[in-house]
Structure 1
């Protein structure tokens, strides 16, 4: 099966994600983020925040959940067993903090076919109360079945 370029530009239904303190702490430990504001309320308050601050790459947790809709969309034609992650970029508008309910909407921005595969680029806009938090741009390299022929 080849990738369906007609799905380019499609925006998928938004998902919600409740940010918890322990989730932020666990993520910070996993990525070795050591700033005290990821772990201690007092340190976050000293920076002017009401709760713990997420490490800069925390948006990937939320964006991957939203991007799952693209992988699950049979009209796109992505076989996840043939996917390699190629690139991920973050634009931070304001830190994500514990206690926020985030909304993440993903658009299948571009599908570029090339040889026996395709580069699939998604953009996920993460917001809290309609205020931007993080924009995540992700690119996957998808090998098509034609590559096996």
Structure 2
């Protein structure tokens, strides 16, 4: 997503088709309110801390002084900054999974070769990328290599 989180202009969820001037406006339009935002967040957090009996200032280490475990597919997911105390432990996959429901069992019984597509929670394909995946799946189906496709999508994603 372009712009500051929570401050994007309507209709600018991705920059794929966004003109340059709108991208620039999307980056800077909140600057006029920045002082109010900082002042309000400082007052809010001070009040919340004092209401809960926390009188000492918050601890702000430059790097975490605790161990962090990372459950990720390195090389396939979007890169993130990791502190020196990070330890890769993933991917962690459950050794068991719930059995398919009746509708799913009926679907799989009617098909011999099903293509399963799951891109994870961090991937947002541009229109051209999505079109390539759909065209490839259609070509596989036309060639008789697959019967059907199951495309897993996260909850709340636009299709």
TM-score if structure 2 supplies the norm length? 0.22
Going by fraction, where is helix more abundant, 1 or 2? Answer: 2
Query: Whose relative contact order is higher, 1 or 2, with alpha carbons under 8 Å and at least 6 apart?
Result: 1
Larger radius of gyration: 2
TM-score if structure 1 supplies the norm length? 0.23
